[in-house]
């Protein structure tokens, strides 16, 4: 009995602490996003007397000739195409990387692992993009995002390949399959779970990425949602209500993913970190 | 986009009204995005299009170095519009004006422009652009109500200024508003001190560009950093300086919480938006120097419009420039509101309803007590100046250390530009 | 079966990956060694030897980033490891609200860094912010979190930990859950306390997840840029500049050579730390 009470007390304290540390900032944003500018300037967490969520959302959306809508579209395109490119290049590479052994393969492994750690060289990448005409171009950003996420996802694929028996390969070889057939018809379908994990994790990280669009997609034509938020800091000055309304709007897609794919996200993070 | 639509709508209306849309020439104008004066520009364009069979279409380019690079690339690619908006001064002059732009010195409107403006858009014997907005003046904006309450007089020397500050502080008000959260605003006391620096050392810009004069070793140049720091050490500034924004500062000045705000007159339009009824309380004076008989303002030369030589419609473009600086053009410009500074054009009759602070600034211009800011006289401006000014303003480093740090920053810039002598 | 290997697992499969990875990652990395030795305008360059490195390492406004980045990475890493581990150990015990608490702590990870920066920028306002208002209510005068040159870097560290501790915790939880239950049972029979369990079983057997967390957090921290950029822009003055924010500022200023030199410096630091990590990773692979 005593232990039960003690446990209950500990648990209550834990929940209260978590609410204070992680819940308060979130509810601060939630309440202030619905206030008037003047009320939000008080920086208080107290609920507003009368809320104006709709007005705030619509003024955020209408800002700078509906920049946010364009930004959502751009971010969606960049995210989806990045995932497609990433899955394409890392599944093929992961497949061969796991199946073959040898000196060449160790070198490739080394280069991939190095990519997990080495900071990307910003200006030379800009120079490369400029040279091939992809600077300030969404396709350029897509390729950079794919290149930067490549090491992590190729490791996930390589790890997963280990669980696919080689007997399958041999059987299809006897059936007269080429390597390409084998990969397309047998291996890639079997790797669906890991593809899904990578797609989900990458979608959140690319959608939330601020740094790479800042480097490789400057200018107002090709804004992404995170860049709009960044630009709004100076546009809105002290209008915290609008900034927070913007934050709410652009956090919706990752939030939906989090609600539906919570387990996959977490297991993917762990697999990437622990397995390698 | 919306702007383009408005222009298009205006064009369509005119075309419909005049009954024929054919035979109209079209000029392409490469313009900044987010130009604060765009409303006035649109008014001029509309008036021009109504008068002549020439349409103007905007293309927009980003501001800052990105826009500069864009223009340089397009010049190299022979892909220039018919009209170009650009910064005046050394930034413009590095574009090889004689080769790339149309000389305007023989145009009838040439004699209308102020010489101080022409000097920052000229190369060799010619000059290459017209001013496109009023001239911003840098100095100190002050709250007249506070001055009246405390019986203060506009200071002519730095000593008088600090004496005023002491009294304001003693009265429990903020003597000097600083907004270091927006760190570019920290530079104003430094940049607007250039009139005083030039008064003490007339050839400074030249020597500085040639690597012969340094901020750290020129006492008059060091004053800028010293003045910033003095605000801090004497306790004149507001609390939470690092959390105060440009916007906050405007409110503090308008409401009389603070008495002085070192800034340029471009802030007036924005104060007017939020506090139109307080504009009458806001005045302006030049940043005081060390002697009363040398008291004048530092001017930011207005952005300009030029005609690239590659244009196929130079005559039409010239017509537009002529219209822009004509009485008619200026009337259209001022039809959307009183300008926030003097024009770099002679004998412009200013309308009623100028802000008092604008009038104050114009007094200095009419008395010819002006100097251009250093950035119009020298291509060398270190990119870290805002942060270095914050260091001075927060007492993190001594003025001498800041000056030495800025000299190194400037050196990097000069080397990057591959200037001779560095 | 060499024919099978070369027929099924052709090197051609590497071609798409090679194009993207070489062009947009490896090539720029190699190019950076060259361009860090030049004055570079992107279209033109002039060789200047080690000048850029000299500038980067001697100028106070630049080399402060070196020190700050090390402090930042060490502090965020240490806090994430300690707090993440304790949270994981706690949340692996028999709690009813376990799932709720885990989700709550993980949640900030799905917010974008820039959103988090803005939120805390507001919470940390020196006189109106919620944090200092709360502190004032219990009689403490809160510091100027982001405006005090001695505090700014540390304040951003705290926000970084707030955002990232969930990942560390999740990795630790996975590690702890993999520990066979009978170890604990054996200890219980010997009369061990909860502290003993933590000290003699959980901690040593979480070594591999600890290594992962350390490397992830440290390398993440040393490359970090976005949070500091949104919250302080490296200020007041230069006091909270990190290597990465300096690299960006030099890029903005058009000093492409110096910016690239900064990248090379960062590369060297990461390599010094990454070599042991690579050894560790390959060793783990052999074990598997």
- Confirm whether C217 is domain-assigned: yes
Tell me how close the Cα of B167 comes to any Cα of chain A, in angstroms.
Answer: 31
Mutate which: C38, C55, C235, vs B, most B CBs within 10 A: C235
Return mean pLDDT, chain A: 89
Listed as own residue / partner, the contacts of B180-183 with beta carbons closer than 8 Å and 24 or more positions apart are B180/B241, B180/B242, B180/B244, B180/B390, B180/B393, B180/B394, B180/C147, B180/C235, B180/C236, B181/B242, B181/B243, B181/B244, B181/B245, B181/B246, B181/B248, B182/B245, B182/B246, B183/B386, B183/B387, B183/B389, B183/B390, B183/C233, B183/C235
Range of the domain at C110: 46-287
Whether pLDDT at B15 is above 70: no
Contact C146 B391 (CB under 8 A): no
The pLDDT of B279-304, averaged and rounded, is: 93
- Total domains in chain A come to 1
Mutate which: A28, A124, A249, vs C, most C CBs within 10 A: A124
pLDDT tens profile C137-167? 999 999 999 999 999 999 999 999 999 999 9
Tell me how close the Cα of B246 comes to any Cα of chain A, in angstroms.
Answer: 8
Q: State pTM to two decimals.
A: 0.86
Q: What angle do CA C229, C24, A161 make, to 5 degrees?
A: 105
A-chain residue closest to C29, CA distance: A121
- Confirm whether C33 is domain-assigned: no
SS3 C6: helix
Beta bridge partners of A20: none
- Confirm whether A141 is domain-assigned: yes
Chain C residues with CB-CB distance to A234 below 8 A: none
Whether pLDDT at B12 is above 60: no
pLDDT tens profile A116-133? 888 999 999 999 998 999
Identify whether the C-beta of residue A273 lies closer than 8 Å to the C-beta of residue A156: no
pLDDT category, B66, cuts 50, 70, 90?
low
pLDDT category, C238, cuts 50, 70, 90?
very high
Which of B1, B2, B245 lies closest to A238 in CB terms?
A: B245
- Confirm whether C4 is domain-assigned: no
| Beta-carbon count within 10 A of B359 CB | 13
CATH code of B2-131+303-343, in short, is 3.40.190.10
Least confident of B98-112, B320-334, C48-62, C123-137: C48-62
Query: CATH number, domain at A194?
Result: 1.10.3720.10
Whether pLDDT at C239 is above 60: yes
Chain B residues with CB-CB distance to A237 below 8 A: 245-247
- Confirm whether C10 is domain-assigned: no
Identify whether the C-beta of residue C29 lies closer than 8 Å to the C-beta of residue A114: no
Least confident of B69-78, B119-128, B192-201, B396-405: B69-78
Chain A residues with CB-CB distance to C260 below 8 A: 121-124
B-chain residue closest to C43, CA distance: B73
Residues 337-376, chain B: which have Cβ within 8 Å of C?
none
Q: Which residue has the higher pLDDT, A64 or B99?
A: B99
Q: What local confidence, expressed as pLDDT, does residue C22 receive?
A: 96
Tell me how close the Cα of B11 comes to any Cα of chain C, in angstroms.
Answer: 39
Least confident of A148-162, B5-19, C84-98: B5-19
Whether pLDDT at B188 is above 70: yes
Residues 316-355, chain B: which have Cβ within 8 Å of A?
none
Decide if B39 touches C, using CB distance below 8 A: no
| Whole-number percent of chain B with pLDDT over 90 | 61
- Confirm whether C14 is domain-assigned: no
Q: What local confidence, expressed as pLDDT, does residue A272 receive?
A: 62
Contact A262 C103 (CB under 8 A): yes
pLDDT category, B64, cuts 50, 70, 90?
low
pLDDT tens profile B132-175? 888 999 999 999 999 999 999 999 999 999 999 999 999 999 99
Range of the domain at A267: 65-275
Contact B243 C146 (CB under 8 A): yes
The distance in angstroms from the start CA to the end CA of chain A is: 45
Q: What local confidence, expressed as pLDDT, does residue A66 receive?
A: 87
Rounded CA separation B121/B108 (Å): 17
pLDDT tens profile C167-198? 999 999 988 998 998 888 888 888 888 888 88
Contact A238 B2 (CB under 8 A): no
Decide if A58 touches B, using CB distance below 8 A: no
| Beta-carbon count within 10 A of A71 CB | 22
Decide if B420 touches C, using CB distance below 8 A: no
Q: Which residue has the higher pLDDT, A243 or C61?
A: A243
- Confirm whether A12 is domain-assigned: no
CB pairs under 8 A between A and B: 14
Subunits with 3+ C-beta pairs closer than 8 A to C:
A, B
- Confirm whether A219 is domain-assigned: yes
Chain B residues with CB-CB distance to C44 below 8 A: none
The pLDDT of C222-243, averaged and rounded, is: 92
| Whole-number percent of chain A with pLDDT over 90 | 61
A-chain residue closest to C264, CA distance: A121
Mutate which: C4, C8, C177, vs A, most A CBs within 10 A: C8
Q: What local confidence, expressed as pLDDT, does residue A234 receive?
A: 72
pLDDT tens profile B215-271? 999 999 999 999 999 999 999 999 999 999 898 999 999 999 999 999 999 898 888
pLDDT category, B4, cuts 50, 70, 90?
low
- Confirm whether A151 is domain-assigned: yes
The B129-131 sheet, strands edge to edge: B54-61, B25-32, B83-86, B304-306, B129-131
Q: What local confidence, expressed as pLDDT, does residue C283 receive?
A: 61
| Whole-number percent of chain C with pLDDT over 90 | 60
pLDDT category, B418, cuts 50, 70, 90?
confident
Tell me how close the Cα of A112 comes to any Cα of chain B, in angstroms.
Answer: 34
- Confirm whether A54 is domain-assigned: no
CATH 3.40.190.10 domain locations along chain B: 2-131+303-343, 137-299+367-416
pLDDT tens profile A49-68? 888 999 999 999 988 778 89
ipTM of the complex: 0.90
Which CATH architecture group holds B137-299+367-416? 3-Layer(aba) Sandwich (3.40)
pLDDT tens profile C86-127? 999 999 988 889 989 999 999 999 999 999 999 999 999 998
- Confirm whether C224 is domain-assigned: yes
pLDDT category, A237, cuts 50, 70, 90?
low
Query: CATH number, domain at C99?
Result: 1.10.3720.10
- Confirm whether A1 is domain-assigned: no
Q: What local confidence, expressed as pLDDT, does residue C285 receive?
A: 44
Decide if B59 touches A, using CB distance below 8 A: no
The distance in angstroms from the start CA to the end CA of chain C is: 24
The pLDDT of C11-24, averaged and rounded, is: 94
- Confirm whether A31 is domain-assigned: no
C-chain residue closest to B386, CA distance: C237
């Amino acid at each position: 009995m005593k232990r039960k009470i003690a446990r209950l007390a500990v648990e209550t304290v834990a929940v209260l602490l978590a609410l204070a540390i992680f819940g308060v900032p979130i509810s601060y944003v939630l309440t202030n996003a619905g206030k008037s500018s003047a009320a939000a300037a008080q920086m208080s967490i107290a609920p507003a007397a009368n809320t104006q969520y709709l007005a705030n959302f619509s003024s955020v959306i209408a800002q700078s000739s509906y920049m946010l809508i364009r930004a959502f579209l751009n971010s969606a395109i960049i995210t989806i195409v990045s995932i497609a490119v990433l899955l394409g290049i890392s599944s093929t590479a992961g497949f061969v990387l796991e199946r073959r052994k040898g000196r060449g393969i160790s070198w490739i492994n080394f280069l991939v692992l190095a990519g997990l750690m080495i900071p990307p060289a910003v200006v030379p990448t800009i120079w490369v993009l400029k040279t091939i005409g992809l600077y300030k171009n969404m396709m350029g950003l897509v390729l950079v995002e794919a290149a930067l996420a490549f090491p992590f996802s190729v490791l996930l694929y390589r790890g997963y390949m280990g669980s696919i028996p080689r007997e399958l390969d041999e059987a299809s070889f006897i059936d007269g399959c080429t390597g390409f057939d084998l990969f397309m018809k047998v291996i890639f379908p079997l790797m669906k779970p890991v593809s899904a994990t990578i797609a989900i994790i990458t979608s959140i990280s690319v959608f939330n990425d601020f740094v790479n669009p800042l480097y490789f997609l400057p200018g107002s034509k090709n804004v992404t949602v995170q860049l709009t938020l960044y630009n709004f800091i100076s546009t809105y000055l002290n209008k915290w209500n609008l900034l927070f309304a913007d934050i709410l709007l652009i956090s919706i897609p990752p939030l939906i993913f989090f609600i539906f794919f919570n387990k996959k996200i977490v297991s993917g993070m762990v697999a990437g970190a622990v397995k390698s | 986009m919306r702007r383009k639509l408005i222009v298009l709508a205006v064009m369509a209306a005119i075309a419909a009204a005049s009954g024929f849309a054919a035979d109209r020439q079209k000029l392409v104008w490469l313009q900044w995005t987010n130009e604060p004066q765009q409303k006035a520009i649109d008014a001029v364009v509309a008036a021009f299009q109504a008068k002549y069979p020439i349409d103007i279409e905007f293309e927009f380019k980003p501001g800052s170095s990105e826009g500069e690079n864009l223009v340089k690339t397009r010049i190299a690619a022979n892909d220039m519009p018919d009209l170009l908006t650009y910064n005046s001064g050394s930034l413009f002059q590095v574009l090889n004006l004689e080769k790339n732009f149309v000389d305007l010195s023989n145009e009838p409107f040439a004699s209308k422009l102020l010489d101080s403006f022409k000097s920052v858009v000229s190369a060799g014997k010619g000059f290459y652009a017209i001013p496109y907005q009023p001239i911003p003046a840098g100095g100190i904006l002050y709250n007249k109500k506070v001055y009246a309450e405390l019986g203060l007089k506009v200071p002519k020397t730095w000593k008088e200024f600090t004496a005023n500050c002491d009294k304001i502080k003693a009265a429990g008000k903020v003597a000097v508003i600083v907004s270091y959260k927006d760190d570019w605003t920290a530079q104003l006391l430094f940049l607007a001190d250039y009139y005083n620096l030039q008064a003490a050392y007339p050839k400074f810009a030249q020597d500085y560009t040639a690597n012969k004069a340094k901020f750290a070793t020129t006492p008059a140049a060091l004053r800028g950093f010293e003045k910033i720091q003095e605000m801090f050490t004497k306790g004149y500034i507001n609390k939470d300086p690092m959390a105060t924004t440009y916007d906050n500062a405007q409110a503090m000045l308008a409401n009389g919480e603070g008495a002085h705000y070192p800034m340029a007159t471009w802030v007036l339009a924005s104060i007017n938006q939020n506090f139109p009824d307080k504009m009458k309380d806001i005045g302006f004076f030049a940043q005081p120097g060390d002697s009363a008989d040398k008291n004048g303002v530092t001017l930011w030369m207005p952005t300009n419009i030029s005609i690239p030589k590659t244009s196929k419609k130079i005559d039409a473009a010239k017509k537009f420039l002529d219209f822009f600086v004509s009485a008619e053009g200026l009337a259209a410009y001022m039809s959307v509101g009183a300008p926030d500074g003097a024009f770099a054009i002679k004998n412009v009759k200013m309308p009623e309803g100028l802000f008092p602070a604008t009038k104050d600034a114009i007094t200095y211009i009419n008395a010819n007590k002006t100097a251009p800011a250093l950035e119009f006289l020298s291509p060398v401006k270190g990119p870290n100046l805002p942060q270095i000014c914050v260091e001075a303003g927060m007492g993190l480093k001594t003025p001498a250390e800041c000056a030495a740090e800025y000299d190194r920053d400037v050196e990097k810039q000069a080397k990057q530009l591959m200037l001779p002598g560095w | 079966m060499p024919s099978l290997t070369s027929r099924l697992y052709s090197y051609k499969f590497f071609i798409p990956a090679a194009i993207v990875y070489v062009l947009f990652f490896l090539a720029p990395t190699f190019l950076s060694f060259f361009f860090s030795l030049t004055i570079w305008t992107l279209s033109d360059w002039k060789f200047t030897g080690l000048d850029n490195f000299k500038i980067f390492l001697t100028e106070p406004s630049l080399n402060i980033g070196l020190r700050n980045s090390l402090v930042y990475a060490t502090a965020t890493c240490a806090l994430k490891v300690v707090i993440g581990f304790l949270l994981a150990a706690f949340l692996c015990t028999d709690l009813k609200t376990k799932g709720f608490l885990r989700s709550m702590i993980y949640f900030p990870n799905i917010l974008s860094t820039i959103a988090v920066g803005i939120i805390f920028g507001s919470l940390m306002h020196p006189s109106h912010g919620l944090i200092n208002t709360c502190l004032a209510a219990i009689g403490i005068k809160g510091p100027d979190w982001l405006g005090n040159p001695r505090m700014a870097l540390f304040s951003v560290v705290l926000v970084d930990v707030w955002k990232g501790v969930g990942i560390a915790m999740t990795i630790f939880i996975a590690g702890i859950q993999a520990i066979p239950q009978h170890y604990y049972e054996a200890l219980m029979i010997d009369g061990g306390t909860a502290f003993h369990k933590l000290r003699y079983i959980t901690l040593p057997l979480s070594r591999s997840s600890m290594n992962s967390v350390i490397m992830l957090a440290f390398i993440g921290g040393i490359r970090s840029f976005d949070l500091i950029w949104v919250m302080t822009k490296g200020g007041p003055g230069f006091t909270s500049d990190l290597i990465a924010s300096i690299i960006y500022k030099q890029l903005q200023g058009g000093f492409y050579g110096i910016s690239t030199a900064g990248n090379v410096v960062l590369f060297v630091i990461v390599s010094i730390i990454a070599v042991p990590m690579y050894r560790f990773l390959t060793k783990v692979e052999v074990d598997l």
